[in-house]
Amino acid sequence: MNAVIYARFSSHNQQEQSIEGQIRYCTEYAKKNDMTIINSYIDRAISGTSDNRPEFLQMIKDSNNHQFNVVLVWKLDRFARNRYDSAIYKNALKKNNVKVVSVTEYLGEGSESVLLEAMLEAMAETYSRQLSENVRRGMRESAMKCQVVGSSVPLGYDIVNKKYVVNEKEAEIVKFIFSEYIAGITKKEIVNKLNAKGWRTKGDKLFVFNSLNKILSNRKYIGEYKYEDIVIEHGIPAIIDEQTFELAQKQLAKNKRTAGRKKAKVEYLLSGKIFCGYCGENMLGESATNRHGKKYHYYICNSKKKYKNCKKKRESKETLEKYLVQQTILFFSDKNNIDKVAKKVVKLYNSELHNGHIDSMIANKKELEKQLDNLTNSLIKTSNDRVLNTINEKINSIDTQLSDLEIEIAREKSLASIEMTVSDVVCFINDIINGDINDVIFKKQIIDTLINAIYIYDDKIIVYFNGSEDAKTITYDDLCSDLEKIDNGGEFVFQSLTSTKQVLDEHLLFQRRICRQMCSLIQKQNAVSV
């Protein structure tokens, strides 16, 4: 599993962990959990009242490339300073199947906050379009002129006066990639050649395998400008001719068909939330194949796997996930439980309504506008070509930041104006818990939104639900009761929860079968005697 680190140090707070300390904690966590760190994004000396976090925004954009699955942070307040920020950006990452993990806060940042963020994400989805309509209208007008609209600039291009222009040095790299690929050279070989030549990506990073997919499929290189549903042929200068581009697409399609033969990736829904009850280590998802070729998926204690020094036995993935989803639904079906949780969520929401976040964003916008004015004045006064290019690059960068910031301000203002009630939260949770327990998407939503942490032993499970102060303990007797439902024709369709229990439960079921056989024999004997 690939991961990146995000670290932030606020100059106003000297009590927080240093950048180096944050990276060390995140790196150690990655090693323990079999994660590969592929990049680090660091914002140094960023003020707590400023939203100008270039590395953070770059990380959000880079998630579109699907090169990493996890963002590691020292604490969740490094990721975002308030709930709105967190909800919006976590949702953006979630769309790219990227999860944010705090390496020091195993139980989250407050269990009710997870529910609040889930609701804010839903709100953001609902209201985002109408909130930014004015801004989007301006963007569409810019798009009709083939101007750059709030997006990253691909390799091979620069921005001059809001227009795409060819960067000849980078264009050479793009042409090389296409030429090699249609000649039958593998992506891995191309990447090695690129890095050996000392060539780098637009972000001045080494090329990796997945770097090429985005380049090879980008229609900008044949001069096509696209923004939402606006498509303009020859709207920007071309780097690659159409024939070369089409040959590359055929090769990509061929390779995609080959890759499609691979088996679907198994997602371990409890990852990051399930811990060994005996040693406290994370439980990791693993798989094994028996002698008949059947594959089994399970969770195993990290300490047990690496050091063999924990007695915790492995757990069936499917069984455990389904059982815990069932227990979560039962917990949140109780009116008293759901009312308590809803009240805590509303209280948290109201406490964060007037935190000055919007004011800080507006102040930041004014600061950017001031910088833009100063740069424009400098542009007028200078005649040095090199200085002119530098100033133009800075102006384009600030223009992009302002566009993004205007959208964020509009969204934040809307969210802040929405009143959240207890009944709203109750309805939200009720919507969540109504679904098909066999549906993976449904189970994932239940686990992500409502379960905070699970500590599992061989004879019991302790579950912490979001918004609840008390942990729920599921004992072996509870599990046996659920097994009774199986025996009595109930709806429980899964077996035991632990390796130890499996043996015991099979023995229990065997005893039941023997008892039924004995009863049947007694009945027959009675019938004969009569």
Number of neighbouring beta carbons within 10 Å of residue 263: 6
* Residue-level pLDDT at 494: 33
Q: Which of 215-224, 347-356, 500-509 has the lowest mean pLDDT?
A: 500-509
User: How many angstroms separate the Cα of 38 from the Cα of each of 118, 257, 432?
Assistant: 28, 27, 35
pLDDT bin (cut points 50, 70, 90) of residue 157 is: very high
Q: What is the 3-state secondary structure (H, E, C) of 263-304?
A: CCCCCCCCCCCEEECCCCCEEEEEEEECCCCCEEEEEEEHHH
pLDDT at 107 over 50: no
pLDDT at 225 over 90: yes
Reduced to 3 states, what is the DSSP secondary structure of residue 477? helix
CA distance 160 to 157: 10
DSSP per residue, 491-519: S-----SSHHHHHHHHHHHHHHHHHHHHH
* Residue-level pLDDT at 182: 93
Rounded (5°) CA angle 237-240-244: 150
pLDDT bin (cut points 50, 70, 90) of residue 530 is: very low
* Domain 2-105 grouped into CATH 3.40.50.1390: yes
pLDDT at 99 over 60: yes
User: How many angstroms separate the Cα of 404 from the Cα of each of 1, 120, 257?
Assistant: 30, 19, 37
Highest mean pLDDT among 45-49, 435-439, 521-525: 435-439
Q: Which helix (H) or strand (E) holds 36?
A: strand 36-43
* Residue-level pLDDT at 94: 82
Using CA of residue 25, residue 308, residue 70, residue 431, what is the dihedral sign?
A: negative
Amino acid identity for residue 380 in this structure: I
Q: Which of 54-63, 138-147, 456-465 has the lowest mean pLDDT?
A: 138-147
Reduced to 3 states, what is the DSSP secondary structure of residue 340? helix
Closest by Cα among 418, 458, 442 to 130? 418
Of residues 131 and 31, more confidence is placed in 31
The fold of 145-259 is: Hect, E3 ligase catalytic domain fold (3.90.1750)
Reduced to 3 states, what is the DSSP secondary structure of residue 63? helix
* Residue-level pLDDT at 45: 59
> Counting runs of H as helices and runs of E as strands, what totals does the chain give?
19, 15
Estimate the crossing angle of helix 111-131 against helix 83-94, to 10 degrees: 80
Of residues 36 and 347, more confidence is placed in 36
The percentage of the chain sitting over the pLDDT mark of 90, rounded to a whole number, equals: 24
Residues with Cβ within 8 Å of 332's Cβ and at least 6 positions away in sequence, in order, are 338, 341, 429, 432, 433, 450, 465
Instruction: Give the model confidence (pLDDT) of 162-194 as tens digits.
Output: 899 999 999 999 999 999 999 989 888 999 999
The percentage of the chain sitting over the pLDDT mark of 70, rounded to a whole number, equals: 76
Instruction: Give the model confidence (pLDDT) of 271-325 as tens digits.
Output: 888 999 999 888 989 999 888 888 889 999 988 888 888 999 899 898 889 889 9
pLDDT at 239 over 80: yes
Tokens of 383: 């005649």
* Residue-level pLDDT at 418: 66
CA distance 79 to 309: 35
> What is the arithmetic mean of pLDDT over 403-425?
74
pLDDT bin (cut points 50, 70, 90) of residue 238 is: very high
* Residue-level pLDDT at 261: 44
* Residue-level pLDDT at 172: 95
Instruction: Give the model confidence (pLDDT) of 460-488 as tens digits.
Output: 899 988 887 777 888 766 766 664 554 44
Residue-wise burial string across 149-171, b where 16 or more C-beta atoms lie within 10 A, e elsewhere = bbeebbbbbbbeebbbeebeebb
CA distance 457 to 54: 44
Instruction: Give the model confidence (pLDDT) of 240-282 as tens digits.
Output: 999 999 999 998 887 765 444 445 578 899 988 899 999 988 8
8 Å CB contact between 127 and 415: yes
Closest by Cα among 52, 42, 54, 47 to 18? 42
Rounded (5°) CA angle 374-376-377: 65
CA distance 114 to 126: 19
Instruction: Give the model confidence (pLDDT) of 15-49 as tens digits.
Output: 446 788 889 999 998 988 889 999 999 987 554 34
What backbone torsions phi and psi does residue 452 show, to the nearest 5 degrees? -95, -50
Q: Which of 103-117, 213-227, 340-354, 503-517 has the lowest mean pLDDT?
A: 503-517
Residue-wise burial string across 331-346, b where 16 or more C-beta atoms lie within 10 A, e elsewhere = bbeeeebbebbbebbb
Instruction: Give the model confidence (pLDDT) of 481-504 as tens digits.
Output: 664 554 443 333 333 344 334 433
Going across the sheet that includes 295-301, the strands are 283-289, 295-301, 315-316
- Put simply, whether the predicted model's pTM sits higher than 0.75 gets the answer no
Residues with Cβ within 8 Å of 355's Cβ and at least 6 positions away in sequence, in order, are 82
Rounded (5°) CA angle 114-117-120: 155
Q: Taking the domains of the chain in order of start, what are their residue ranges? A: 2-105, 145-259
> What is the arithmetic mean of pLDDT over 128-141?
62
